[in-house]
């Protein structure tokens, strides 16, 4: 019990500590691919520190919701990120929370972000919120379908169980898991406002989705939202790593040496995921807003197909 609590605490601190690093790493990868030197790896930390020191400027008509939303968004995302086994399974929380809970936590974070975007009443906030909800209305069902696929394979929606099942010898190569991996990657790209759905580096207010909703935020509020966005990216990378690359995950009650090995493996997985994301974002242009439903519709179909295949036969 104490071991599980320790691992859980370590994991919560770890995701929070490395989330900005993941964002910074993706930025460096993209810059290097474009032959730019790019910002320092630790720049997101400097940005957060700078924002935290700055005064938070609020619009005159901002309601309590606008001030509360950053804390709610950050808390929900952090909890969700803490539920994903990063370097070790056997977390304290994992018996009460699972993939569906993670989906719900992220959904409520987005709900508050969209509300906050509309709260001040600027046209960009409304524009961003409407686009975000359009994307979410397709991304969430797709994620749920993928969760069902995994649950049918592993017999549980609980991530530690899924990871342990994936490590066992009798999983093998499965069509449904391949579909789920592609679908989950597509959802992750959409959920994290990456190219081709959204451009995290854009300065064109008319094309923004995520950035348009947070345009009115400043100071510590913006720092929390930025940190939550980094956490979300880390969460999705960890989720894909945990389900599809579970090697190196320390089992429950493992010795410190095994835990350290798990951390090393986790770092390597994040680096691989970040590098692939940077590469993918470099070779593709952003798609038209109204093509997004096609993209996410494909993810939804993949999830659905995976589930249906498993109903036909458990061997797919």
Partner 1 sequence: MPALFNVLASGRIRPDHRPWLRAEVDAALWCALAQQLAEGRWTLLGLWGDAGAVHMALLDATGGAVGVASLACADGTFPSVGRLHAPAQRLERTITDLFGLTPVDAPDTRPWLDHGRWPVSRPLAARPGAPEAAPYAFLPVEGEGLHEVAVGPVHAGIIEPGHFRFTANGEAVVRLEERLGYVHRGVEGLMAGASVAQGAALAGRVCGDSTVAYALAFARAVEAALGVAAPERAQWLRGLMAELERLANHIGDIGAVCNDAAFPRLLAPCAVLREQVLRAAEAGFGQRMMKDRIVPGGVTADLAPAGAARIRALVSTARAALPELISIYDGTASLQDRTAGTGFARPDLVARFGCGGFVGRASGRGFDARRVLPYAPYDALTFAVPVLDGGDVNARVWVRIKEVEQSLGLVTQMLDRMPEGPLGVDLPVPGAPCEGLALVEGFRGDVLAFVRLDAEGRIARCHLRDPSWFQWPVLEAAIEGNIIADFPLCNKSFNCAYAGVDL
Question: Which residues sit at the interface with partner 1, rule CB under 8 A?
Answer: 30, 33-36, 123-124, 127, 130-131, 195-196, 199, 201-208, 211, 215, 282-291
**What minimum distance in Å lies between the beta carbon of 204 and partner 1?**
4
Cβ-based nearer residue to partner 1, 12 or 51 = 51
**What minimum distance in Å lies between the beta carbon of 216 and partner 1?**
12
Tokens standing for 112? 């508050």
Cβ-based nearer residue to partner 1, 204 or 257 = 204
**What minimum distance in Å lies between the beta carbon of 35 and partner 1?**
6
SS3 88: strand
DSSP string, 165-178: HHHSTT----HHHH
Tokens standing for 217? 């935020």
> Which segments of 252-315 does DSSP mark as H helices, in order?
256-283, 292-312
| Residue 262, CA distances (Å) to 91, 210, 251 in order | 14, 33, 9
10 Å CB burial of residue 257 (0-12, 13-18, 19+) is: exposed
Cβ-based nearer residue to partner 1, 164 or 198 = 198
The answer to whether 123 touches 201, Cβ cutoff 8 Å, is no
**What minimum distance in Å lies between the beta carbon of 48 and partner 1?**
20
Cβ-based nearer residue to partner 1, 30 or 110 = 30
Cβ-based nearer residue to partner 1, 2 or 206 = 206
SS3 14: helix
**What minimum distance in Å lies between the beta carbon of 235 and partner 1?**
23
């Amino acid at each position: 019990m104490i071991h599980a609590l320790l691992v859980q605490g370590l994991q919560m601190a770890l995701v929070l500590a490395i989330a900005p690093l993941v964002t910074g790493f993706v930025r460096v990868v993209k810059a290097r691919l474009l032959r730019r030197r790019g910002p320092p790896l630790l720049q997101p930390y400097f940005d957060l520190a700078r924002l935290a020191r700055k005064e938070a400027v609020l619009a005159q008509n901002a309601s309590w919701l606008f001030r509360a939303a950053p804390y709610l968004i950050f808390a929900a995302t952090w909890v969700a990120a803490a539920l994903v086994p990063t370097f070790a399974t056997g977390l304290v929380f994992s018996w009460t929370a699972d993939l569906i809970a993670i989906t719900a936590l992220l959904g409520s974070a987005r709900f508050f972000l969209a509300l906050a975007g509309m709260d001040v009443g600027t046209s960009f906030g409304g524009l961003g919120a409407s686009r975000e909800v359009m994307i979410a209305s397709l991304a969430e069902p797709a994620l749920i379908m993928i969760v069902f696929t995994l649950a049918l394979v592993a017999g549980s929606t609980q991530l530690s169980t899924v990871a342990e099942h994936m490590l066992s010898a009798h999983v093998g190569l499965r069509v449904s898991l391949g579909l789920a991996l592609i679908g989950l990657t597509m959802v992750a790209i959409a959920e994290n406002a990456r190219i081709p759905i959204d451009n995290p580096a854009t300065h064109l207010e008319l094309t923004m989705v995520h950035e348009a909703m947070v345009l009115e935020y400043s100071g510590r509020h913006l720092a929390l939202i930025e940190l939550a966005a980094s956490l979300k990216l880390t969460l999705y990378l960890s989720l894909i790593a945990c389900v599809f690359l579970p090697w190196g995950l320390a089992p429950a009650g493992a010795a410190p040496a095994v835990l350290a090995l798990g951390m090393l493996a986790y770092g390597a997985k994040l680096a691989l995921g970040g590098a692939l994301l940077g590469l993918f974002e470099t070779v593709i242009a952003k798609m038209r807003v109204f093509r997004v439903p096609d993209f996410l519709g494909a993810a939804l179909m993949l999830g659905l197909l995976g589930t249906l295949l498993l109903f036909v036969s458990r061997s797919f």
